[in-house]
Amino acid sequence: MNKPLAGLRILDLTHMLSGPFGTVTLADLGAEVIKIEPLEGERTRRLLANDPKHSIDGMGAYFINLNRNKKSVAIDLKGEEGKALFYELVKKSDIVFDNFSVGVTQKLGVDYAVLKEINPRIITCSITGFGSDGPGNHRTAFDQVVQAYGGNMSITGDTAERPLRSGLPIADLGGGMFSMVGVLTALYERERSGEGQHVDISMLDGQIAMLSYMATMYFLSGEDPEPIGNSHFVHVPYNSFKTSDGFIVIAVIFDHFWTGLLEVLDCDALRKPEYDQQPGRLADKAFIEGRVAEILATNTMAHWLPLLEAQRIPCAPINSFSGALADPQVAHRNMVIEVSHPNGKTTKAPGNPVKLSRTNEESFSPAPLLSADADQVLGDLLGLKSDELESLRSQKIIG
């Protein structure tokens, strides 16, 4: 296998989106990810499972996409026998991932304080809504709740009277992305110290970090920003514009882009000397963007975009999913891949965005059926024989 994380073993206790998004990316990069599920299966298996438009033979789009390249072993972690099996797997693993609510790992006895005594090199990662400590850490967390707490909804949309969440679940996805940074950082540190540690990821922390320079602007001015739609508080024109057959965006960030835009639009009303620099354009933002909108509405996207691109003006069509996923650049980067159900039926999904120059193999095995890999994993790693596995199964310790 020519994948960068080959040889890394992860025990994956995650469910829903934030945790599985983190672990599936690591699996795509070659880590052996063993999904440890309750005997009835983790709850994401049931999402869209009976929706004929969004499933394959009882496996929904969520599970198909978020659990490719993983193995499944069902273990009853609430019983002592199942927990003992899990502990044996911990001895032979590098990372344990979860996104349980605060306190659940302690109740189950699978928290870092317990697991480090079993394997001092183990790294654990918990993704929660608000972190492992603090006055608000027991709040109930879902993506939109965290988006609301994180401030971003207050600047999304056209008016402060109607705050909007992001179209994508960015709090969940952000938690998954920061979890990957966290565990890979802990792995690198382990090379020096020889010891594991716990990685504590708060979805809210991620949202606050993403406020970035806008938070610093608030601290400097003391003024809450308000939503301004698709426009920009500094750059003009910088907005979405309707053409005769769809929408495009134009982003005039530097003054030389404005010069190029004038060549495309050929509008005398916009050829004012004061517009040649950003402050002058900002002072007359409404007029400029209004006039640009009027001109662009007279022709098609296919007319305007090549002209804008020829002037090197930042621009793009506002793609639907079908448009984005059919972009030749996306295809060239292998960002639409084929994924399959274990029965061989296939569909497509987003690929792995991490592209490396040398260890660059990309392959995608199907999301597993429930406990499909129990015999192989428990046999190969723990040396259990078929009769022992059958006994564990009959006692409902494993699935």
Alpha helices (H) along 6-60: 18-28
Catalytic residue among 15, 138, 198, 232: 232
Q: Dig out the tokens for 250 from the structure.
A: 């134009």
Q: Dig out the tokens for 126 from the structure.
A: 């918990």
Omega of the bond prior to 237 within 30 degrees of 0, cis? yes
Q: Is 124 helix (H, G, I), strand (E, B) or coil?
A: strand
CA-nearest of 173, 157, 177, 174 to 165 is 157
The alpha carbon of residue 354 and the mean position of all alpha carbons in its chain are separated, in whole angstroms, by: 13
Neighbours of 358 (CB within 10 A): 6
| Residues 153, 174: Cα–Cα separation, whole Å | 15
The contacts of residue 377 (CB under 8 Å, 6+ apart) are: 34, 71, 73, 89
For residue 295, what is the enclosing H or E element? helix 285-296
Contact 35, 26 (CB under 8 A): no
**198 part of the active site:** no
Cβ burial, residue 20 (10 Å; 0-12/13-18/19+) = buried
3-state DSSP of 301-370: HHHHHHHHHHCCCCEEECCCHHHHHCCHHHHHCCCEEEEECCCCCEEEEECCCCCCCCCCCCCCCCCCCC
Cβ burial, residue 293 (10 Å; 0-12/13-18/19+) = middle
Cβ burial, residue 73 (10 Å; 0-12/13-18/19+) = buried
The residues that are catalytic are: 232
